[in-house]
Structure 1
């Protein structure tokens, strides 16, 4: 469900700091304004949330706050809408949808984790593609090895066992292997989130609560 945006308070956009790499996403969109001069719209998301655990997206125009919204959000700006949504690993959407239906992703701030990943893609495309392939392979392995064990655990719950019986997984892995598998899947999904890649099976399924 898309949240209704609330008016901003005109506070200035804070500079991105290196220690915010995995706690903050910052994206920019340059458009031609009504006067013909370029305008820069920015979307700032702090993934830790507020005191109530709510994650907000803040919209800025030329560095001044215009509005804010809980996620998922849709900010109306001249010429279209900026759509913002998250997964458990970062942003899965931060796109400008123009009135003519064309869509483009906002540009990550150079100092952000997303910006650094984008620079790697530009400077070393072969390495970047290899990392992307490894991330997908890791998540596929996690699904194949993890799903049977999860199903077995679920069918051991007494009401479920009484209703459908107990399923015995053909795959039995030691605890340390399962922990390694979960950590590897988290790293792989985080890497994909830095590129705004999201698939509800690969990045949702086992380890993510989808929006």
Structure 2
């Protein structure tokens, strides 16, 4: 996920924590907070519990969203996103998008990756429980999310190309592209909202595609 240069830059952004205790997840925080846990693994030399806490609507003094790393319930480190936290046997990588967390994984030094476990009270945790308890319904919801992203992409792309082609330098050089699709404003707003819903659902499952989800982001 991270190349060596980006990894080094991310590690350089780490700041020490203040040791404050981790606050429990509250019922009103599903869309504003994400909380993930990495269970201990004595065989890998990691006897403590790590937690990653992200408040999507709360920034630091510079307005940047941060990931906070807790070790055994105490804030150990924090870093501006995207973040990389080296720990015993590997590193925890945290990446967000406009719709939530798109990656929160422990990457071992020898290569294997492990997604952290979401707090059961969080939106990600509730979505994971639905996937476990109602797998068929979960697959249908996942398929619907893809439809909500693909349809706006197919209908909106020609209109976007036409708008770009009308920029004077491009129009003079390449001519103006006439989109075969010309939707009213309300329809385009509806497509944008459907794409946002689809991206949010996929973010709850930490799903991200560079060609599909990047359009909505």
TM-score of the aligned structures, taking structure 1 as reference length: 0.93
Choose which of 17, 20, 26 in structure 2 pairs with 1:8.
17
Post-superposition CA distance 1:103-158 (Å, at most 9, x none): 11000001100000001001100000000001111211111101000111111222
3-state DSSP class of the match of 1:19?
coil
Unaligned runs of 5+ in 2: 1-5
Assess, with a 3 A threshold, how the Cα gap between structure 1 residues 37 and 105 changes in structure 2: closer, same or farther.
closer
| 1:1-211 correspondence to structure 2 within 5 Å | 1-2=6-7, 3=10, 4=12, 5-33=14-42, 38-50=47-59, 51-205=61-215, 207-208=216-217
Distance 2:118 2:173 in 1: 50
Preserved contact between residue 105 and residue 114 of structure 2 (Cα < 8 Å): yes
Task: Look up the match of 2:3.
Answer: none
SS at match of 1:92: strand
User: CA separation in 1, counterparts of 2:83 and 2:108?
Assistant: 16
Measured on the aligned residues, the alpha-carbon RMSD in Å equals: 1.7
- Stretches of 4+ aligned residues off by more than 6 angstroms: none
Give the number of equivalent residue pairs.
207
Decide which moves more: 93-102 or 104-113. Answer: 93-102
- Mapped partners of 1:69, 1:101: distance in 2: 23
Post-superposition CA distance 1:31-89 (Å, at most 9, x none): 2359x884210000111241533010000011101101111111011111000001111
- Matched residue SS, 2:34: strand
Structure 1 unaligned blocks of 5 or more: none
How many Å separate the matches in 2 of 1:60 and 1:164?
Answer: 54
Q: Give the TM-score taking structure 2 as reference length.
A: 0.90
